[in-house]
Amino acid sequence: VLVTDQGGLPLPGVAVRFSGGQGSFANSNPVVTNANGFATAPTLTANGVAGAYQVTASVVDSSPGLATNFNLTNLAGPPANLL
Each residue's pLDDT expressed in tens, for the chain with a length of 83 residues:
999 999 999 999 999 999 887 778 888 789 999 999 999 999 888 777 888 889 999 999 887 889 999 898 888 777 777 77
Note the pTM of the prediction, 2 decimals: 0.81
Residue 5 and residue 20 in contact, taking contact as beta carbons nearer than 8 Å: no
Residues 6+ positions from 2 with CB-CB distance below 8 Å: 10, 36, 37, 38
What is the amino acid identity at position 35? A
